Amino acid sequence: MPGPLEGVRVLEFTEIIAGPVGGMFLADFGADVIKIEPPWGDPWRSTSPGQAGGPNESRGFIAVNRGKRSIRVDLTKPGGKSVVHKLVESADVIVLNHRPDVPAKLGIDYETLSAINPRIIYCEVTAYGRMGPNRELPGYDVIVQAMTGMMTSEGHDVDGLPRSVNVSPVSDMAAGYAIMMSVSAALYYRERTGKGQKIENSLLQNSLRMQQSSLTQLDDYPTPRQAWRAEDLPALKEAGVGFSDIYSAYREKRNNPEFAAYYQPYETSDWVISIGCLSNPLRQKMANALGVDDIRFEPGYDRESPESIKFAENLILTYRKVFLGKTTDEWMTILNDAGVPCGPMRFIEEMVYDEQALANGMIVETTHSIAGNTRGPGPLSNMSESPMEITRGAPAFGEHTNEILQEAGYSAAEVEALKGNEDVF
């Protein structure tokens, strides 16, 4: 597919979400991505929600594997290893996300593949990184969200227990972005130096980066929750206090709700509108537009005073009442005229036909050879000199085995021999 990475060939040994998303982004930017699957296929083909095109063509798989070609290879057999090593000779990038012990067993570890092609860029995603006590453990997004505090910070609870951010597997998606960015940087480095390299990334690393603000600690100026972690949490655990009580104490140690009223959704007379004011000039514009007197804009305002904190909490209730007095469209007109950032609440399913998204190429159509016409998010960027055009849908199970092998120099007879020996499928 056209794009700034046109001519770059990627061999992808990935499954489920994180690795496939990274490969999909590289394909969106123009790379030729070959998904090398085991005989049984990527488990996400059959275990993710929505069997749209048969037992091996799930909606979840189609969503994160757009733009690739698929070949099925048995890496446990010498013939399968030989095929992959031949493909590596002309490849630029390797992407994989197996447990740390798996690549060497399959003959696709960095040491083996870089010996075949020293210019190879080898990008590996693990759950927790190559060092440390958890380095050999398997892991998934829901586990990493729990381990990094994303769940307890989110405040989405069911029956008293934190639940994951489930609109999207945050750590997996972030790892996909990291793959694309890291590989692109490594390609640029190779362009300047001629050297390939190994890239290591992890779900843990990306889950932490997605919580950049909360994780940042100024040692001399701790947040209420950081102080609680250092002073109260160890004592509570030592005393055997249960999780639910500790979690409640943690939730109470929130930051000052100073300007929460200006950054949240409100119900209107007919729907819901969301407001986003992250500066005092914008907050002042909103207060003026709604005819509300906010004492925090007065000279001498003390943000930490009990009066100010109480006012901040009550202000949300005030705005809730005011917003109920008009329709969403009426508020959109009033707030847009006042220069206040706002937007109506929608469901994600509506966005497939959203006028704004369509006007900017944010929704594209592709064709799956079994499931048919597919709509989904467009490329991450629009580029003037190297425009991207997504023309290929997700691959059917082993759809391109013959095509890929013939491109690699295998004759039709040799391809049939490999299939007969079940080295490839």
Task: Enumerate the active-site residues.
Answer: 172
Q: How far apart are the first and last CA of the chain?
A: 25
User: What is d(CA 28, CA 222) in angstroms, rounded to the nearest whole number?
Assistant: 42
Q: At what angle do helices 328-338 and 280-290 cross, to 10 degrees?
A: 130
Between the alpha carbon of residue 241 and those of residues 53, 163, 236, 248, 297, the distances in Å are 50, 21, 6, 11, 42
**Hey, what are 274's tokens?**
């969301």
What residue type is 143 in one-letter code?
I
Task: Give SS3 for 259.
Answer: coil
Contacts of residue 14, Cβ cutoff 8 Å, sequence gap at least 6? 20, 22, 23, 35, 42, 95, 96, 97, 125
Distances in Å between the Cα of 111 and the Cα atoms of 35, 117, 118, 373 are 21, 10, 10, 41
Going from the C-alpha of 90 to that of each of 112, 178, 192, 196, the distances in angstroms are: 15, 24, 19, 13
Helix (H) or strand (E) holding 293: none
At 273, list the tokens: 């509108």
CB 19 within 8 A of CB 44: no
Q: Cβ–Cβ contacts within 10 Å for residue 330, how many?
A: 14
Where is 229: in which H helix or E strand? helix 224-231
Beta-ladder partners of 200: 124
Cβ count near 247 (within 10 Å): 15
Reported residue count of the chain is 425
Cβ atoms of 125 and 22 within 8 Å: the answer is yes
* DSSP 8-state assignment for residue 269: S
Token pair listed for 152? 């307890």
Strand-pair partners of 366: 374
